[in-house]
Amino acid sequence: MAAKYELKQGNSGKFMFNLKAGNGQVILTSQSYADKSGAQKGIESVRAHAADDACYERKTASSGEPFFTLKSTNGQVIGKSEMYSGTAAMENGIASVKTNGPEAALDDQTG
């Protein structure tokens, strides 16, 4: 299975996407967008910024678990990772977004 962006509409009517690796694991989750075009622009922003290490902000949750955010060059958060068991796992997640983000196909599940 190839990496893909899953574009969905939630019960609230807002749109969001997940970037999934080839193994089906979610590696990046977007914010909520008011409309579909906003979510599509978010996907394009991930594609444009995924390869740039300077766009990743490595963080630690209050629970001590590492995670990261991907930001555009204007500083806006495009997506957030899951919580990881350790720094090495988080770095693997970043590497996966860098590899898969620019070329992943779009799976539009909004009907």
Do residues 78 and 49 lie in contact, with contact meaning Cβ atoms separated by under 8 Å? Answer: yes
For 52-87, how does the pLDDT look when each residue is reduced to its tens digit (9 = 90+)? 999 999 999 999 999 999 999 899 999 999 999 999
pLDDT, mean of residues 34-44: 97
Torsion sign, CA atoms 84, 12, 73, 26: positive
What percent of the chain has a predicted confidence (pLDDT) above 70? 100
- The domain segmentation of the chain, as residue ranges, is 4-108
User: What is the C-alpha to C-alpha distance for residues 28 and 46, in angstroms, rounded to an integer?
Assistant: 9
pLDDT band (50, 70, 90) for residue 111: confident
User: What is the C-alpha to C-alpha distance for residues 20 and 28, in angstroms, rounded to an integer?
Assistant: 7
Task: Give the fold, CATH level 3, of 4-108.
Answer: PH-domain like (2.30.29)
Q: Enter the tokens of residue 1.
A: 């299975």
What's the mean pLDDT when you consider all of the chain?
96
pLDDT, mean of residues 33-45: 97
Own/partner long-range contacts of 20-25 (Cβ < 8 Å, ≥24 apart)? 20/104, 21/96, 21/100, 22/100
The reported pTM is 0.94
pLDDT band (50, 70, 90) for residue 1: confident
User: What is the C-alpha to C-alpha distance for residues 28 and 61, in angstroms, rounded to an integer?
Assistant: 16
User: What is the C-alpha to C-alpha distance for residues 68 and 55, in angstroms, rounded to an integer?
Assistant: 10
